[in-house]
Amino acid sequence: MILGFWAMALVLFAVATRVGRHFGLIPIVSQLLLATLGLPLLMYFWIEPGWQLSGAQLISPTWLKNLYSLSFALLLGHILSDVIDLRLDRQSLKIALPSFCIPFACGLATAAWLLPAQPWISSLAVGLLFAITAIPVLYLYLRHINYPTAATRRLVQTAILIDLTCWTLFAIAQGSLHLSSLLLPLAGACLPLLLRLLRLRQPLLHSGCFFALLVLAEHYRLNALILGIGYLLCMATLKVPLILPLPALWMSRLQTYIAIPLILTFGIVQINVHSAMDSLSGLQLSALLLLPIASKLLGNWLGLGWAGASFEGASRWRESILLNIRGLSEIVFLNLLLQQQLISPALYFALMLMGLIATLLPALAGMHRTPMNIAAPTRNPHANS
């Protein structure tokens, strides 16, 4: 019955993706809608009373945890690999500074004043979740509205800089709590240097080791962020390109139809949505839904004004909404925090709902066309320009 549930969940996500495309929604939006609204109803009205299966039972099989580790490592590696494409420029930095600092400060204040007492690293994580921008979804939105090349490059580089800051700050903070746990990830991050000393310079070997080490780090609960960021920075220093472990088309399908649905479902089924929402007051829920979006829009607006227009006729408001997209980056971050019990189920669900609203905003504002696939690789988008 557990196997039947997961097969049914994957089918539901595939159907939601197809139906969403028919109505002009990109897959991640359709998947977020199903995960946030559909799965809790399915659990409450059918799976728990009819099948007599709890969320803990649904995620208990060892094979499922191994599959989750593989999927999580694949998506985390895909997101972190944008680090290797970072090319700092003054305009992107001017946008990124207020776009990160204002929502980050708002998140810290929200955690301190409106949420129950929690460890400082959990409050830090809330601030980072307020500030994060989804690189893959942003790039696809820009590509499919035929956004000017220079403006696309500037916004994508801004998002990469913001996300790199978020992931790095959290990795350092997490590592500072358990210094001994940093040794193995740091050693793994230096593997490209060892391969270079051994004169093994094949990009495929470096890339294969990168994804394999991420799987091991996730499985054994090591600091995958330190490992991933350090490894890719070493590759960037050595000018070794990252190669996806599968052809782009198969990688796209694997992420869209298996990895993303698995990660979303794995997180949602662990939560009793009804009791989770009851644990948040109306003020807390409103703050978690509105403040991340409002503070991010304000930071984006100020940063875009500081950097100046990227082209004649550029809409500052439009670009502010686009840089507010959350999507895949926030899902991976939320699941990481939930698995490590750094955030509560109620906070997880509220911020996932916020991410859904933020990701829907460009579509609601009419700034989209139907893309071919949300999980299309974002490897070096600047090469196409």
Q: Which structural domains are found in the chain, ordered by start?
A: 2-384 (1.20.1530)
Tokens of 83: 């680090």
Looking at residue 179, the DSSP 8-state letter turns out to be G
The answer to whether the CB of 102 falls within 8 A of the CB of 307 is no
Tokens of 174: 């997490």
Distance CA 153, CA 147 (A): 10
Tokens of 13: 């996500």
Tokens of 7: 């097969």
Residue 250 CB burial class (10 angstroms; 0-12, 13-18, ≥19): exposed
- pLDDT of 144 reads 67
- Enumerate the H helices of the chain as residue ranges: 2-22, 27-33, 39-42, 55-58, 62-80, 90-113, 120-131, 135-144, 149-177, 183-189, 191-197, 203-219, 224-237, 248-254, 260-268, 273-278, 282-307, 316-322, 328-339, 345-364
Amino acid at 350: A
The answer to whether the CB of 154 falls within 8 A of the CB of 92 is yes
* Cα–Cα nearest to 232, from 381, 77, 72, 75: 77
Q: How many CA atoms lie within 13 A of 375 on its CB side?
A: 24
Distance CA 24, CA 6 (A): 27
Tens digit of pLDDT per residue, the chain (385 long)? 999 999 999 999 999 999 988 887 778 888 888 988 899 989 888 998 889 888 889 999 999 988 988 888 888 888 887 666 677 788 899 999 999 999 999 999 999 999 988 899 999 999 999 999 888 788 877 876 778 888 888 998 899 889 889 988 998 888 777 766 678 888 899 999 999 999 888 899 999 999 999 988 888 878 888 888 889 889 988 888 888 878 878 888 898 899 999 999 998 888 887 777 788 888 999 999 999 999 999 999 999 999 888 887 778 898 999 999 987 788 888 988 988 889 999 999 999 999 889 988 887 766 544 333 333 333 444 433 3
* Cα–Cα nearest to 99, from 31, 40, 155: 155
